[in-house]
Structure 1
Amino acid sequence: MKIKDLTLRKLSIPFRTAFKHASATRLETESVIAIAESESGKMGYGEGCPRSYVTGESQESCLQFFEKHKPDFPQLHGLNQLREWVAQNRSTIDSNPAAWCSIEMAILDLIARERNVSVEDLLSLPEICGSFKYTAVMGLNSLPSFKKQLQRYLEIGFTDFKIKISGKLEEDKERIELSTSFINDPSKIRLDANNVWDQPEDCIQYMESLEPSFFAIEEPISKNDFKGHKNIFAALKLPIILDESFCRLSQFDELQEVPVKFILNIRVSKMGGILRSLEIIQEAKRLNIPVIVGAQVGETSLLTRAALTLCSAFRDNIVAQEGAFGTHLLEYDITPSPLMFGTKGNLNASKAGQKPGLGIHVDSKTLNAFTFH
């Protein structure tokens, strides 16, 4: 296979409703889309979600990365070449994971389409089959909006919940008490603070003011403050989910030095693509560290599909899945058949796994309407 053309575009699709957490408020997607074309005319697509507060990236930095390394990409026409580039450019990808994620996905999709096999078959992984169960994610809405959203999730049949918190105790208590009045088992609820506290003592005091015993708390304090996480765990005995604080394989060394029950939130974009995500989950499995396969707010069906590759390969090590919002959140998806959760928060992905590549049919009109250079 030869890559005839490879381009990278910014993607901005409006949301149906604003999504707010402690680090940002979003009204539209903030992504990049890579498009790879072979000499035979087949197309491959990839997506990355740059986030300044997670990986230090932006849409502009992704375009700069693409232009800098563009001469290399036509040589990545096979899986071996792609793996070699990832291995040789590890530190570069560490600084540009979302940018590389979009490019790697597009090339993997293209290679698999050229061979008329799924990405799973290409990577010698189990084919996607059956259904996948997702978490209901609750943002920092006003109490009436929060209640309306919660009731919608309950009507759909969700049983697993992630609640964003602001660190403002009385406001958060209202949302949490409302949630627990409907959700009988607090162990089905995890909290996400998005690094709202600077000091572990502030987190400990806050959490001790809440009555229920939750499943875990995500990113309570400043990114990469592993000593602070140790103090929080010692005081609360509450598992700590790492998201912004875990973005690359080398960080396992830091985890092993701290006696804390960690759970890793693995998002394909922030890890730097499918290949690196698989590598990280494999190491987490070896170390008996549970994993949540997460999602950036505003992902399209492309990254939803990429995450399914991980979930299918490591079902036994994954304690929860996030994302698959599709047009529940987006005004439009880039495919006429979005991959998104349905009744009880389930997504039946069997059909996606039976098609070549990532199996996503990208609608060119929608893509052109919402992408720009």
Structure 2
Amino acid sequence: MRVANWHIYHVRIPLKKTIRHASHTRKATDSLIVRCTLDTGQTGWGEGLPREYVTGENIDAAFAMLRELPNSATLHASFENEREAVRTASNWDIVRPSNAVRACYGNSARCAMELAFLDAIFREVGRPLSELPAMTNSLVEHPKIRKRVRYSGAITAESAKKQLQQAVKMRLFGFHQVKVKVGVSEIDDATSLKTIRRIVGRKVDLRIDANEAWQCSDVVRNVERLSSSGITSVEQPVPHSDVVGLSKIRPQLSVPIMLDESLCHREDAVRAYNEGLCDLFNIRLSKCGGILPSLELKQMAVNFGLGFQLGCQVGETGILSAAGRHIACAIEPIRYLEGSYDRFLVKEPLTKENLTFGYGGRARAINRPGLGVIVDEAALSRVTIREHSQTVH
């Protein structure tokens, strides 16, 4: 097996509603879709969502990086089996500009490419991607895969009124975990959170995400104001540029700190542990560079004695939803699980299968080879802005 062709799409995915948090307001998302074709004719699909305010690259930079393809001679290698292919993909890198501030620059492009490659390889050998985590160390015949997983819900920060409406939906839909976006100036978080708690009930695990909205000097006061609502963690309370200040704040807090924008690469993970910046990692496939780097971050969290969330990014289509489902069914112990909002959020999920979670956030494992989904190429055509094809000689 070897790669014969890459096809890159810049797509614009419209959302069914405006999503707002302290860092950004979004009505659509510009994403990368990649199709990898092997010399056998087998194809695979990948997806990445560039976020300039997270990893540094915008859609134009990410598209340009994919046109350059990986900075690795192994791109042209042949593979006897999936183990060799996984080993090769783990060494892939994207050509980053010399002025890139962080090592995570270009992670969305790498994610799209790696996922398309792994999807094609695992389709070819007839194995689902949920068997990948066991494969990173040793190839086992029957790895333990959960038959179902349970996602958490999210309440955005559009307005206090809409937050309460969303809380009612969370209650009616039977979610066991709910994340609330905080830090928007027009909303009194303490009042809103108390009402949300009354609506969803005491048994629901309630956490907050500040999306870099606060200053270090305000974190302790803000968290303590909200802690009476029984929150179980606070996600990315300060901007990445101020994250070093969390080492002094953390011992004063009654709830764990989760890093998101400040946790995109193994360098971030090492720094977070060495400097005592957090208690939890938020691992999202696109911002962390794909499945293999994300699995590395998961293992680092376990080795460091920290917890982790398997998260998602706003506007993910069924391609990344499928990838997240495979990983969620194969790894543990996940503290919180996000994703598979497909038909609740995006107007073009891009897959013929409906991967949206069901009542209570419950969803079944995917047992078909590779990602186990069929891309709707008519839908893909409707949202494509530009594309580029490159044959590998």
Normalised by the length of structure 2, the TM-score is: 0.87
The 1:345–1:85 alpha-carbon spacing in structure 2 relative to 1, beyond 3 Å, is: closer
For residues 211-268 of structure 1, the C-alpha deviation after alignment (integer angstroms, 9 at most, x for no partner) is 3331010100121534321232222232100000111112333223334551000001
Three-state SS of the structure 1 residue aligned to 2:25 is strand
Residue 167 of structure 1 deviates from its aligned partner by 4.9
Single out whichever of 114-123 and 46-55 deviates more from structure 2: 114-123
Structure 2 counterpart SS, 1:87: coil
How far, CA to CA, are the matches of 1:116 and 1:64 in structure 2?
Answer: 32
Spell out the pairing of 1:86-165 with structure 2 (5 A cutoff). Answer: 86-87=90-91, 89=93, 92=96, 94-121=104-131, 123=135, 124=139, 126=143, 128-165=145-182
Deviations 1:148-186 (A, max 9, x none): 222122111112110001253852234212201113338
Seq. identity, % = 29
Aligned to 1:66: 66
Asked whether the 8 Å contact 2:10–2:31 carries over to 1, the reply is yes
Q: Structure 1 counterpart of 2:295, which letter?
A: L
Asked if residue 367 in structure 1 is aligned to residue 383 in structure 2, the reply is: no
> Aligned to 1:208, what secondary structure does the other structure show?
helix
* Cα distance in 1 between the residues matched to 2:37 and 2:371: 15
Question: Relative to structure 2, which stretch is displaced further, 117-126 or 10-19?
Answer: 117-126
Partner of 1:324: 340
Q: Which one-letter code corresponds to 1:120 in the other structure?
A: S
| Residue 182 to residue 87, structure 1, CA distance change in 2 (3 Å) | same
Per-residue CA shift, 1:118-142, capped at 9, x if unaligned?
2234634736442111111111122
- In 2, distance between residues paired with 1:279 and 1:257? 17
**Pair 1:20–1:33, CA change in 2 (3 A):** same
In 2, Cα distance between equivalents of 1:276 and 1:170: 36
AA at the equivalent of 1:178: T
Whole-angstrom distance in 2 between the partners of 1:318 and 1:244: 19
Distance 1:118 1:81 in 2: 15
How far is 1:332 from its partner? 2.3
> Could you tell me how far 1:35 is from its partner in structure 2?
0.6
Return closer, same or farther for 1:212/1:129 CA change in 2, 3 Å cut-off. closer
Cα distance in 2 for residues equivalent to 1:208 and 1:286: 30
Q: Name the stretch that deviates more: 80-89 or 115-124.
A: 80-89
Find the residue that maps to 2:50 and give its secondary structure: coil
**1:46 alignment partner in structure 2:** 46
**Residues 2 and 189 of structure 1: CA distance in aligned 2, closer, same or farther (over 3 Å):** same
State yes or no: 1:195 paired with 2:209: no
**Could you say which residue in structure 2 is the equivalent of 1:10?**
10
Structure 2 SS opposite 1:94:
coil
> Offset at 1:28?
1.4
C-alpha contact (below 8 Å) 2:3/2:39 kept by paired residues: yes
Aligned to 2:265: 248
Task: List aligned pairs for 1:204-219, cutoff 5 A.
Answer: 204-210=220-226, 211-219=228-236
* Distance in 1 between residues matched to 2:342 and 2:278, nearest whole Å: 32
Separation in structure 2 between the aligned mates of residue 275 and residue 207 of structure 1, nearest angstrom: 34
| 1:276 lines up with 2:280 in the alignment | no
Partner of residue 391, structure 2: none
RMSD: 2.3
Q: Tell me the residue number matched to 2:100.
A: none
Query: Cα–Cα, structure 1 residues 226 and 29, in superposed 2: closer, same or farther, change >3 Å?
Result: closer
1:168-317, aligned counterparts within 5 Å?
Answer: 168=185, 171-185=188-202, 188-197=205-214, 199-210=215-226, 211-223=228-240, 225-259=242-276, 261-315=278-332, 317=333
When residues 76 and 334 of structure 1 are mapped into structure 2, their CA distance, relative to the original with a 3 A threshold, is farther
Q: Does 221-230 or 11-20 show the bigger shift? A: 221-230
What are the ranges of 5 or more consecutive residues in structure 2 without an aligned counterpart? 97-102, 387-393
User: In 1, are the aligned partners of 2:247 and 2:277 still within 8 Å (CA)?
Assistant: yes
Equivalent pairs counted in the alignment come to: 368
**Is the 1:293–1:321 Cα contact (8 Å) retained in structure 2?**
yes
Residue segments in structure 1 that go unaligned for 5+ positions in a row: none
Partner SS state of residue 33, structure 2: strand
